[in-house]
Amino acid sequence: MAYLEIQGLQKTYPDGTDAVKGISLSVEEGEFIVLLGPSGCGKTTTLRMLAGLEMPTGGQIVLNDRNLTNLPSSHRDVGFVFQFYALYPHMTVAQNISFPLENMGVSKEDIAKQVSEVADRVGITALMSQYPGPLSGGDQQRVALARAMVRRPMLYLMDEPLGTLDADHRMAMREFIREQQTETGVTTIYVTHDQEEAMALADRMVVMKEGHICQAGTPSKVYEDPSDPFVAHFVGSPGMNLLEAKLVAENGHLAIMADNIPIIAHLPTIEKLKPGPVTLGIRSEYLIPDAEGPIEGQIVLVEHLGAFAMVYIDTSWGRLVMRAPSAVDYEPGAPIRITYDPQHMKVFT
């Protein structure tokens, strides 16, 4: 059995809303798992059930061979970091951090030692006598992290902890959280709707939609080999280009046609499929300018993003987005022909 086993976890609210619909997930000790999905997909509800702040309607949660399913949060030995810090304004930074240890009955000498150690690790030693109110968002989040880390729980749970920070603080805290998790080795479940944040932090990403798990895997696996069109479009910036096509029989083989243009012919991966509608997906970096290319279109927008540019092209297949070097001069309104790398074309049925 894995370190954390989530088995058939369900949550139905009294009004009949099914927030989480029987999800299962195995997590190894020391893993950094990111639950990723749009608002309302069930990721925060899942985290709250792991914390004991919500009781599941069905299923079970087993942590290190201990069934937590119906235990109150105070008996679970987990550290929870909220989006809005949840610091006590009338307590100093030191008092905020020491509060969980005081509730556990730890001696004053041990509290002083542990608080000092975690404050040094988090980089807030100079703030210990201050109150949370005047601190920056980044410093408040460090205090919240220190409070969760001070007792070295069996599991860290983080609910969009960077959501209220500006871009610079968010980047710095993202690096900090990953470094601290690597150093401590504590298993971590982290919730976000930001796919870039998820890919930067996760050992494994768990993409959720409407209370279900769509796909779980390493960031590179989910990005390169998405399980369905939703994952393909949700993960990546921009999302994968998607276009409608059809699978047709041709000379005893199957071929894919889009806008009467043959796209992929005789690939072994499609020979097991049946003729009919399919959705094709290809990442922007696998579209290639080619004067003889089969796809003709018009450039409608160019976003220069430093070393590269995102080129938006209207075609008979719909709007496609191509990633290209910024050094190439693309102009809105100009015609363009492109081709694609067939080895990176995904087929969704």
Cβ neighbours of residue 294 closer than 8 Å, sequence gap 6 or more: 261, 337, 339
- The dihedral of CA 21, 25, 30, 31: what is its sign? negative
User: In the CATH scheme, what is the code of domain 4-233?
Assistant: 3.40.50.300
Would you state the pLDDT for residue 227?
96
DSSP assignment string, 102-165: HHTT--HHHHHHHHHHHHHHHT-GGGTTS-STTS-HHHHHHHHHHHHHTT--SEEEEESTTTTS
Written as tens digits, the pLDDT of the chain (349 aa) is 899 999 999 999 999 999 999 999 999 999 999 999 999 999 999 999 999 999 999 999 999 999 999 999 988 989 888 776 678 899 999 999 998 888 888 899 999 999 998 888 778 999 999 999 999 888 888 888 888 888 788 999 999 888 777 787 788 778 888 988 998 899 999 999 999 999 999 999 999 999 999 999 999 999 999 999 999 999 999 999 999 988 887 776 777 877 777 776 556 666 677 888 999 999 999 999 999 998 999 999 999 999 999 999 999 889 999 999 987 889 999 999 999 888 888 989 8
Would you state the pLDDT for residue 98?
93
Would you state the pLDDT for residue 266?
52
Q: Which helix (H) or strand (E) holds 234?
A: helix 229-234
* Domain definitions of the chain by residue range: 4-233, 238-348
Residue type, 90: H
Cα separation, 143 vs 91, in Å, equals 12
Cα separation, 125 vs 122, in Å, equals 8
β-pair partners for 346:
281
Would you state the pLDDT for residue 268?
60
Helix/strand number for the chain, H first, E second: 8, 20
Cα separation, 115 vs 64, in Å, equals 26
Residue 178, burial from CB neighbour count under 10 angstroms (0-12, 13-18, 19+): middle
Would you state the pLDDT for residue 184?
85
Phi/psi at 288 (5° precision): -130, 130
Query: Which top CATH class is 238-348?
Result: mainly beta
Cα separation, 175 vs 84, in Å, equals 19
Cβ neighbours of residue 168 closer than 8 Å, sequence gap 6 or more: none
Would you state the pLDDT for residue 323?
96
